[in-house]
Each structure stands twice: as C-alpha cells, then as structure tokens.
Structure 1
Amino acid sequence: MSLFTTIYDVIVVGGGHAGSEAAAASANMGAQTLLITMNLQNIAQMSCNPAMGGIAKGQIVREIDALGGYSGIVTDKTAIQFKMLNKSKGPAMWSPRAQSDRMQFAETWRNLLEQTPNLDFYQDSVNGLLFEKNKIIGVKTSLGLEIKAKAVIVTAGTFLNGLIHIGEKTFGGGRAGERASTGITEDLVAKGFEHGRMKTGTPPRVDGRSLDYSKMTEQPGDSNPEKFSYLPITQPLEKQRSCYLTYTNNEVHRLLREGFDRSPMFNGRIQSTGPRYCPSIEDKIDRFATKERHQIFVEPEGWNTVETYVNGFSTSLPEDIQDKAIRLIPGFENVKFFRYGYAIEYDYFPPTQLKHNLETKLINNLFFAGQINGTTGYEEAAAQGLMAGINAALKVNEKDPFILKRSEAYIGVLIDDLITKGTEEPYRMFTSRAEYRTLLRQDNADLRLTKKAFALGLASKERMDLVLEKQEKTEKLLSFIKNLSVSKEEVNPILEAKNLATINQSMKLIKIASRPQLAFIDFRAIDKLEQFISEHKINNEVIEQAEIYIKYAGYIEKEKNNADKLNRLENVPIPSNFNYSKVKSLSYEAREKLSKIQPVSISQASRISGVSPSDISVLLVYMGR
C-alpha cells in the first residue's frame, strides 16, 4: 500500500547527524529527497554530549562546511562556548571545538532543512527495504506504506535492534525514551550482508543548580573565540558559558567496583565492543586500576537550561550505584539527577561491504552512513552523511561518484579506513590516522575543498568568491614578505625584545619571519608591512595562512611530494572483479583479503592489513607496471 505517488530520487532513513547532512546534500544537488524519521522533533538530536569538534573532529566539521554542509553553520548559530584545542602545538594539531545549546541545535537544524528546496519530510518508522533483484527500489514503513525511490541512504544510528542497559534492567530502545527500529537488519541479512553488534554509552544528566561549582575548576572558552563556518553569515561568540573540571577519587572507584557484578558489561549481558577512546567510568577504573582519579567535565546543555552533562562518567551501572558514587565527586555532594547513564547495544554492518562512494557492494543504489558503518561521533556521522547524500544524488543522475583522497581531506581518510580496513570497535577519527595532517589543517579546509563543492553545485558563488579572495590575498602577502628587505634598525629592536640574535645588515623579511620564536604580530611594527596589510585589506585569516606557510613550508612541501607519490599508485586501477585466486605469487592471506575488499587501485590494496609490499609488487607486474 502506498499513499505516496512520488517516486523519490533519494530516500534518507533516519534524521540524526548523518541523515540530516545526507538529506541536505541530496536536496541541494537537485535530487527530490524524502527524509523519514521516527520523530521529527528529534532531527539532529545531540544524543550524547552537547559539543561539536575536538581533536581531528573539528577538522572534519570545517571540511563539511567547506563542502557546503550545514554542521558548521548550525554549530556557530547555537554555540555557547568555543575553544581552539592544541594551540600550543603545531597548526596541524589545532582543533576547533564548541559547546552547543542542545535544544537550539536541533531546532536550527530543522529550520535549515525545512528551508531546503527539493526536501520532503515524513514521520514514521522504516521496518523494511524494497528490492528488485540486486537493486533497492524503496522502503516499507511501520504503517505498511511502500515508498518508492531510485536510491536509499540508511542512517539508522543506534536504533537498529537497539537494547538499552541500566544495571540488571534491559529494554528495547534506540535512545532514552525512543523505541528501537526492527526489520531493516533482517532484510539486509537475507540479502547476504554480514552484520555485528556494537555498544556505546552515555553519562547521567543532572540539575546544575544542585552542584557546588566552588569545588571545581572553571574552564572558560577562548578570550578571542573563532567559529566553524567560513561563511560570514555566522559570527564569533560575544559571550560564553564556562564548563567546569572536577575529579573522581579512590572512594568513588571503590563504590563503583561494588556494583561490577551487577554491571551488564562485567556480568556478560553485553558482549559487543564499545568505543576504546571514550570508555565508561567502570571500564576506566578496571583498565587503569592504579590511577587514583579521572577527569570529570561538567558541561552546561544550553543558555537557559539547568540540565548539565557529566562528561567522563559514562556508565551502565545500576541507578543506586550511580547515585551513591557520583555524590563522592567534589561538587556533586547534593546532586539531583535528571536521568541516569545507560549503555546501548545496536546492529552495525562491517563497512568493508561498501564502495568508496558509500554505496553497498551487494545492492545497487543502497548507501550506508553513520553508526551503521561502525563509527562513533556526530562529526564522523555527519561527514559520511554528506558524502552519501552527494553520491546518491550523483548516482541517480548517472554521474561519476565523488570520492575524496586521503591526501585531500580527513573525510577521505575516514572513509578509506572504513572501506579498506574495516573496524571491529566503534571508529573514531584522530589526527594520527592521517598521513598528511600538515596538509589537512582546519584553517585551509576551504582552500582544499570548496572548489570541488562549487563544481558539484553545493557551494554558492559567494562561498567560492570568498575562497578565491583568500587565496589571492595569501599569495600577495607571501610574495610581499619574500621580496621585502628590512634594515637592522627596523628588525633588531624586535629581536632584542625576544632575546634573539640580532642582524648586522639588511635581509629579506621571510628569512627572519621563519624563526620559530617569532610570530607574525611581532613584525606589525614594520611600517611597510603594516601599510601593505592596510592597503590590501588583509584580514587575520589570510595572515594566519601566510604565517603557517612561512614557518612550515618545508614540512608542507615534503607532505605534498609524499602525497604525489601516493596518488601515482591511486592512478593504477585494478579492474573490478579481478580474480586474485589466479595470481599464485600472492600470499594466501593477500588473496583472501583482496578478494573480500576488492580494492579499486594499487594504493588502496597497499593499505589492506595482511597485504605485504611483495604482494603489491606482484600486482604491479600484473597491471603492466
């Protein structure tokens, strides 16, 4: 039965961070798109902590913004605090992070989506997929409606056969207060897909009025906050809310251990794998038994709410244990709970079953994005959603897929890692996962990606013009600094103030500016430079680009050369359905892994675990290289 007469170009199943970006991208590329979600009030809900960005994740949000996605804009519009993390390290490590107002975040996302042309909405649960041989043709809802589409993107988050655990209690659910989704896993398994179970958890939410902040350390935002989006439609924060830091102690740990026999993690009820880099509090005190304390970040959930997120206290222990243990943390002595922490188990599908465009290998025009692929985190989900939305729209219009290389974006690293290596635990992005992180900085995501988004039709002319202006002004400033000679009278006072060796003759400014102890601001006293900056209306963003290049030119050029070498191997294709079993010179493990992953290039083959350099040499011979 169907009340929908439209055959949509793209149906997006699920309205979380992946689904929201997927729906926006698909619709903005001109595809007639339908977003189906269980509850339209919960679009882009921040299910866990009320924050976007962080180490490597902030780079991803900047990349999403540069590609025309909405996550950066929404974060800026709803931020209550902004911090640039790792500022004491090199610029490859700088990572923006913002606390958001949880309620405003979801509301702003919904408003943006409702203003997006070509996008329809429907509130219902999808409990089946419609196939025609090895092709998806639509979905079936809990009301029995069949809705047809040329492509479907599944972004089901933690809802696929979700089970919530609090102590000895277990009940179905995809999130607190929301039911699980059933039927999709069963349909996919019937089509030959492998699937598994993963788990994640969330900490208690408490009443901020019941906390004693005088016993905690205040964690304010940056004094000169930046923002995520490169567009001028959002502005940096003028006022901010602070977070607070406190610690667990041995008494807290002792009380928590008393509940281990009632914990689903330790008594065997949960056997699925949780996120290694965001462990529960019981996991932390078990794995790091000698550590006397763990950090607890107390994060406000918005401007006007007293609800507070207890970051670092994720748990599935019984309510009475949670209640007793948390009161032993300084500042929490009189705490009132809004809700207890819990763990959730859900189905995922190993991402080695996908192509690089996030389309499944088994079923044409079916795409997966987000936690269904074994990832954790809003940012990783949103990035996959954006790419799935782009590629679904391209596929229905019979255009080539849009794929980012590892040397082009953290998003490229994320997807290549998933497709090539798979994951047996919730995958989280880190700067260490990127070989070319000096190239993939948060400050230059627009220079790297906006031209590509403009060609796709996702980035506006306004956005493209801003990028071209930034690029042109950066090049002009660099050229000026390279050619500007400065006298010892101009420069020596600057060097003496820093206790640095002075110069005894005029020299090019770039030679002095490359000294690591000096910052660009130190040279603003040089009249010719200041005059050039004023005349050409050069802003801080351009100055930052120029300064990074001056100081890190050698590293940047080295990484570019390495990336070029990698890309030469990317350009050696492997024919689809290549029969590796015939290549007897390959090791048994390599034949097995290559047959399963079906890499599209020699470069991708070289990144598969179990494929050795000698196996790659054999393949190069077979490919005529």
Structure 2
Amino acid sequence: MNYDVIVIGGGHAGVEASLSCARMGSKTLLISMLAENVGATSCNPAIGGLAKGHLVREIDALGGEMGLITDEAGIQFRILNQTKGPAVRGSRAQIDMDRYRVIARNKILTTPNLDLVQEMAESLIIEDGEVKGVKTNLLNEYGAKKVVITSGTFLRGVIHVGEIKQVGGRFGEQSSEGLSHSLKSCGLEMGRLKTGTCARVEASSIDFSVMERQDGDEIPSPFSFRNDREEFRKTKKQIPCYIAYTNENTHNIIESNFYRAPLFTGQIEGTGPRYCPSIEDKINRFRDKDRHHLFIEPQTFENTECYINGMSTSLPPDVQQQMIHSVKGMENAKIVRYGYAIEYDFVDPRELKHSLETKKIKGLYLAGQINGTTGYEEAAAQGLMAGINATLSLQNKEPLVLRRDEAYIGVLIDDLVTKGTKEPYRMFTSRAEYRLLLREESADTRLSRYGHEIGLISDEIYKRVMLKDEQIQDGAKLLIETFFTPNKEFISFLESIGEEKISDTISAQQLVARKSFDIEKMVKLVPELAKYEPYILEEILVEGKYARYVEKQSEEIQKMKKYLKVEIPQSFDFKSISGLSKEIVEKLESFNPPTLQAASQISGITPAAIEILHIFIKIHCKKQESSIMAKKD
C-alpha cells in the first residue's frame, strides 16, 4: 500500500504523469474510478490543432505518450495553416476515440512499476505541511512520498442540460466531492470554471451528400518523431470529415430559447472558455453572422457515430433536437447523446511553483484542468511535467523547468503559475514570443536531450534526433557558404526556374529567403542537398528563409537573460517610470522585487515592461554615479 508516487485521475494528464513516473523508476499507483475510461477523450474525437499540435510534438520529444497513441488511433491527419508560415502551422488528427482509450489503458496496465486501482480519492494525508498519501472511498489508505492530482472536471462537478442539473464529473460518472474539500482545507485558493461538449449523432441518419467533404492530407505526417515517416505514410488509412453550417432558422431556434439556457439564466456560475464558446454564446455574441461552421467528425474508424463540433451546448434536449434538425443534411439526425455543460472546481495555478508542485504542500503536484486549463493537449503536457518533476524530486535532482524560449510547454506553465487565469486557459501560437524558434518540426531537436537525460528517450532514438539536427545544420551551413555571381550562366539558370536575376554576388541562403523559393528550387540551386530526406530539406529551407529573424529572436533571448540578472535598487521609484501602466506599477510596488528576474515572475508583468524597467534602472544608476562623483569633486 506504499508507493513513491500516487497519481489521482486517469485522464490525459494522469496517463502521462503515471507513465513518466513509472518509466523513470518510481513505484507508481494510478487511482482512477473506471479502468475502461483511462485515457478517454471526453469531448471531441481529435488531438492537436493550432498550438496544440506543438504541445503534442513537445510531449513526444520529451518521451511522453500522446503522439504515439494518436498515430496508432488516428483516422485522419491534417496540417492546419499549411499556406502560412511554419511557426503557426499546426498538426491535427481525428482519432478513433474507442481505440485511443483502449491503447492508453493497455499502456497503463502493462507498464512495469505501475499499478492501477479502481477507486475514488477522497482526501489527502498531510503531516507537517507535506503530503504522505491518499485515502479513498473504500477506506483504503495508500502511502506515497509524492502525489500528483489530475482530476479533470471531477472536483464537485455539476452537469447542466437545460433546467436539469445533476452531480457528475463526466457523462455517466460521479463527481469527486471529498477531494475538493480536502484541497480547500489545505488553504489552496480555488475557483469555479465551466466547459461543455456537443451532441453525438448516429452517422447513418446524416445526409453527407449535401455537406462539404473534408479529407486528410494526401501525404499524412505522424505526430511522433519516434515513428517511421515513410512506413506511416504508406500504411495509414484515413476517412473523411464533413462541414455543415448553421442558418437563420438555427439561430432563431437558439435565440428564442435563451431563457432556457443555463448559461444565461444564472444557473451556471463558472466562467467558460472564451475561445471555444457554446453555440448559444456564439449566437448571442455574433448575431450579425449569417452562419457558423459545424465540423461533422467521425468518432471511430467505422463511423457509426459523429461529433457535431461547433455546437457545444447546454440547452434542453428538445431545443437541441430542433437546432440540429434545422441544419442541412441533419434533418433526420438521431441524437445518441445530448450536449451538456459542466461546472467544476479548480485551483488557482499561482499556488504552484514552475515544477507544478504546490507552494503550500510539499510533495503535492497538480496537472491539467485542476490548474484552470482546457484541452487534452494542455493537460497531457502538464501531466508529463508533473510526473517528471515528482520523480526528479525523489531522486534529489533539480526540477525540469522549460523556458519560454525553449518550448510551448514552458510558455503554458509560466503563464499559469505567474499570471493565473480567470477562464479556461487555451494555448495559442500568439502566446509564445519566440514562436519562430518553437516550430513543431524542431520539437525533437529542442527537447529530446532532456528526455534522454531523464531516461524517457532511448539512446537509439536520441542518436536519430542528433543525426537529424546534424543534417539540418550541415544543410543550413551549406546555404550560407555557397555563393553565386551574376554571370550569364547563373542568370540564365535563375530564369529557367522562374526567379529574378541578381546584380551582385549573393549567398544561397539569401536566394532561398525569397518568398518564391521552395524545396525543388533549393535543390536545383544547391544539388548537394539532394541527398537529404524531404522532411530534412523542409527544415533546411525554413532555416534559410528565416535565418535573419531567428538570429534576431536569439539575440533578444540573450538580451532578456542578461536583463534578468539586473538588481533593482531598493530606493527605486516605480511611479517615476513613464510607459508602465498603473496596474503594473502597483504590482511592482506591492511585491518590491529585488531583481528583474523576480519582477518577471509577477503575474501580468510583460517582457516589454521588463525592458522598460531595465532602461530606467540604468538611468537611475547613472544619476546616482554622477551624484557621487559630484560630491567627491
């Protein structure tokens, strides 16, 4: 009954946390209500997306499991924002949600050092401010040196369907009441959030012929760097999704039933996700829109049931039927499960260190929706980091804390623990200041060394990553060192590939940086590159195109690192700084940070504010030096 680490909750955060702990050598226990729901995709049947795809690639690069399971269970793969810059593209996969859950559960049940019990955690055992274990609903007590809570939406969960309210952590499952009270008794600041899900419809009752077909990429790319790309592309079978639209009739049905919507009647108190609103919230906020997209997504490879993405709702069942039947192609749709909203408790993430350990209770780590986030990917990323850091702590090693310039995971955790959140936090590429350095395809070369050091990435995989990095760097170097002169032969060559002529000596890198240059042209320009695989050439092309911008961002990072070591004088008057908002000045005065590093950790203090602060500190110090010199004279 004694373990090194106990993980509470078998969602995406719990799967990553328990697997990482066990694989790093910790004797681990996963407590989950139902074994068959371990790794369940409670909402949409998809993994990844804009910025979320970055998180999955980073989880994989560190040795996590989400990318591998997605590749195995995936039924459609697409790169979103394909026509835009490489920094904002995002991989997304439709998954067979039944298969995904089975794979995740089997990974848990077959991993050495990892036990699973089907119980409910009721309370924490805490002595002298340190966690010692967990008590369950079966009156069992499990001892542990570290505890990771990944409770999802189960803390005092309440489900809303129209006027009906019922206690539950997820459809068909009970909520966790005792654990929430236990956390409150520890003195942790807690709040209430809301999320929701869409109706599921019987696929055979949908007329797909009147909808827009949406196929996956012709050449699908795997999420996991550990999978063979060519083998994946040859063997992966895909099925289509479809796009439908709401219409004026749909909007009228919804609008005429606002008075029955828990979101508007005051029945729901928790704050919902701003960037993934319910359909009733969309109609309320964007009534000027003629229509809204609906993505009809198959939930399994057999496509017996579809998820109506874009129609998240807590409206009553009769209203859900009317609005779904108003959509072209779904006039005769049979609803298998109605959409619902769910309210649940969360812990203010500012209660956490960057390691995801709570500040008040030693050895207690939190990950996933309990920290105020939304989404499978955000949860899995936190679960992985919490599991890694719990085990590193047991090994008397420093925690793994990723910087904002190293990973989207670093941005995610830093945002949470320094700024907190008042609504479900979702990752976006715009949240990352250095997103050009944090491209999806560079996740393995950025992060695999950490995964290798802690034992989650094998020697063989790490060698492959190092070879990839070496090839990219060699190719990029070749572009820099290869020059061309404006002679007749070369100008003729440029014309043959549809490029404008040059008037001065120019490097291959400068030419590749042109918007019109693609991989085919690059290889014709520098034939020595033809020996590399297409995905290596893609990275070499990106390095060439964005070399100047990458160099600039790298300089900014070094400058910021230098700033963070600067001390703030004790007599410094923050009010004297022009360019800082009143709110930032009040926070600086309240916390009175000793260094720029400490100032950067304060919620709401932006990188721009740090730079302004640094300039005024230098001015302040120069004035003091001048004053001292004047007195000496």
- TM-score scaled to structure 1, two decimals? 0.92
Q: Give the Å deviation of 1:143.
A: 0.3
Unaligned stretches of 5+ residues in structure 2:
576-581, 626-633
Do 2:108 and 2:116's aligned partners in 1 also have CA atoms closer than 8 Å? no
Give the corresponding residue for 2:450.
452
Give the corresponding residue for 2:579.
none
Q: Does residue 1:43 correspond to 2:38, yes or no?
A: yes
Partner residue of 1:149 out of 126, 141, 144: 144
C-alpha separation between the residues in 2 aligned to 1:194 and 1:160? Answer: 14
Give the corresponding residue for 2:523.
524
1:596-621 per-position Cα deviation (integer Å, ceiling 9, x unaligned): 98989733523635656577789999
- Paired residue secondary structure (1:61): helix
- Paired residue secondary structure (1:148): strand
- Paired residue secondary structure (2:554): helix
Q: Does residue 1:310 correspond to 2:308, yes or no?
A: yes
Give the corresponding residue for 1:246.
244
Give the corresponding residue for 2:16.
21
Q: Give the Å deviation of 1:486.
A: 5.9
- Paired residue secondary structure (1:198): strand
Partner residue of 2:530 out of 505, 529, 533: 533
C-alpha separation between the residues in 2 aligned to 1:261 and 1:204? Answer: 20
**Aligned partner of 2:547: which letter?**
A
C-alpha separation between the residues in 2 aligned to 1:251 and 1:239? Answer: 37
Q: Give the Å deviation of 1:490.
A: 6.9
Q: Give the Å deviation of 1:512.
A: 2.5
Partner residue of 1:116 out of 108, 111, 117: 111
Q: Give the Å deviation of 1:521.
A: 1.2
Q: Give the Å deviation of 1:114.
A: 2.7
Q: Does residue 1:191 correspond to 2:186, yes or no?
A: yes
- Paired residue secondary structure (1:299): strand
Partner residue of 2:99 out of 73, 95, 104: 104
Kindly report which structure 2 residues correspond to 1:7-406, keeping only aligned pairs within 5 A, or say none: 7-232=2-227, 235-236=232-233, 238-406=236-404
Give the corresponding residue for 1:577.
none
C-alpha separation between the residues in 1 aligned to 2:115 and 2:563? Answer: 42
Give the corresponding residue for 1:554.
548
Aligned pair in 2 of structure 1 residues 42, 10: CA closer, same or farther (>3 Å)?
same
C-alpha separation between the residues in 1 aligned to 2:268 and 2:530? Answer: 60
**Aligned partner of 2:510: which letter?**
K
Give the corresponding residue for 1:567.
561
1:22-59 per-position Cα deviation (integer Å, ceiling 9, x unaligned): 01111111111111100110111000001111110000
C-alpha separation between the residues in 2 aligned to 1:597 and 1:38? Answer: 42
Do 1:9 and 1:151's aligned partners in 2 also have CA atoms closer than 8 Å? yes
1:245-272 per-position Cα deviation (integer Å, ceiling 9, x unaligned): 1110111010111221111111111021
Aligned pair in 2 of structure 1 residues 570, 462: CA closer, same or farther (>3 Å)?
farther
C-alpha separation between the residues in 1 aligned to 2:36 and 2:64? Answer: 21
C-alpha separation between the residues in 2 aligned to 1:65 and 1:518? Answer: 31
User: C-alpha root-mean-square deviation of aligned residues, in Å?
Assistant: 2.7
Q: Does residue 1:502 correspond to 2:529, yes or no?
A: no
Q: Does residue 1:418 correspond to 2:413, yes or no?
A: no
Do 1:420 and 1:604's aligned partners in 2 also have CA atoms closer than 8 Å? no
1:473-520 per-position Cα deviation (integer Å, ceiling 9, x unaligned): 122222333344568677556643564323589864333222221112
Q: Give the Å deviation of 1:214.
A: 1.3
**Aligned partner of 2:126: which letter?**
F
Do 2:30 and 2:117's aligned partners in 1 also have CA atoms closer than 8 Å? yes
Q: Give the Å deviation of 1:583.
A: 7.4
**Aligned partner of 1:475: which letter?**
Q
- Paired residue secondary structure (2:193): strand
Q: Give the Å deviation of 1:584.
A: 8.4
C-alpha separation between the residues in 1 aligned to 2:315 and 2:109? Answer: 40
Aligned pair in 2 of structure 1 residues 562, 486: CA closer, same or farther (>3 Å)?
closer
C-alpha separation between the residues in 2 aligned to 1:429 and 1:332? Answer: 32
Aligned pair in 2 of structure 1 residues 303, 467: CA closer, same or farther (>3 Å)?
same
- Paired residue secondary structure (2:446): helix
1:106-152 per-position Cα deviation (integer Å, ceiling 9, x unaligned): 11112222332211111100011110021110000000111000000
Q: Give the Å deviation of 1:372.
A: 0.3
Do 1:585 and 1:618's aligned partners in 2 also have CA atoms closer than 8 Å? no
Q: Give the Å deviation of 1:586.
A: 5.5
C-alpha separation between the residues in 2 aligned to 1:450 and 1:214? Answer: 45
- TM-score scaled to structure 2, two decimals? 0.90
Do 1:586 and 1:618's aligned partners in 2 also have CA atoms closer than 8 Å? no
C-alpha separation between the residues in 1 aligned to 2:566 and 2:34? Answer: 46
- Paired residue secondary structure (1:469): helix
Give the corresponding residue for 2:539.
545
C-alpha separation between the residues in 1 aligned to 2:545 and 2:143? Answer: 55
- Paired residue secondary structure (1:524): helix
Aligned pair in 2 of structure 1 residues 407, 333: CA closer, same or farther (>3 Å)?
same
C-alpha separation between the residues in 2 aligned to 1:299 and 1:212? Answer: 14
**Aligned partner of 1:568: which letter?**
K
Aligned pair in 2 of structure 1 residues 233, 286: CA closer, same or farther (>3 Å)?
same
Do 1:569 and 1:601's aligned partners in 2 also have CA atoms closer than 8 Å? no
Unaligned stretches of 5+ residues in structure 1:
575-579
C-alpha separation between the residues in 2 aligned to 1:512 and 1:618? Answer: 41
C-alpha separation between the residues in 1 aligned to 2:590 and 2:186? Answer: 17
C-alpha separation between the residues in 1 aligned to 2:170 and 2:501? Answer: 63
**Aligned partner of 1:434: which letter?**
A
Q: Give the Å deviation of 1:530.
A: 4.0
Aligned pair in 2 of structure 1 residues 315, 137: CA closer, same or farther (>3 Å)?
same
Single out whichever of 295-304 and 610-619 deviates more from structure 2.
610-619
Aligned pair in 2 of structure 1 residues 604, 216: CA closer, same or farther (>3 Å)?
farther
Do 2:419 and 2:604's aligned partners in 1 also have CA atoms closer than 8 Å? no
C-alpha separation between the residues in 2 aligned to 1:188 and 1:599? Answer: 29
- Paired residue secondary structure (1:265): helix
**Aligned partner of 1:124: which letter?**
E
Do 1:8 and 1:148's aligned partners in 2 also have CA atoms closer than 8 Å? yes
- Paired residue secondary structure (1:266): helix
Do 2:357 and 2:363's aligned partners in 1 also have CA atoms closer than 8 Å? yes
Aligned pair in 2 of structure 1 residues 591, 361: CA closer, same or farther (>3 Å)?
farther
Aligned pair in 2 of structure 1 residues 589, 286: CA closer, same or farther (>3 Å)?
closer
Q: Give the Å deviation of 1:174.
A: 0.7
C-alpha separation between the residues in 2 aligned to 1:420 and 1:532? Answer: 45
- Identity of paired residues, percent? 46
C-alpha separation between the residues in 2 aligned to 1:599 and 1:33? Answer: 39
C-alpha separation between the residues in 2 aligned to 1:520 and 1:56? Answer: 25
C-alpha separation between the residues in 2 aligned to 1:364 and 1:124? Answer: 24
C-alpha separation between the residues in 2 aligned to 1:288 and 1:504? Answer: 53
C-alpha separation between the residues in 2 aligned to 1:97 and 1:573? Answer: 44
C-alpha separation between the residues in 2 aligned to 1:486 and 1:345? Answer: 64
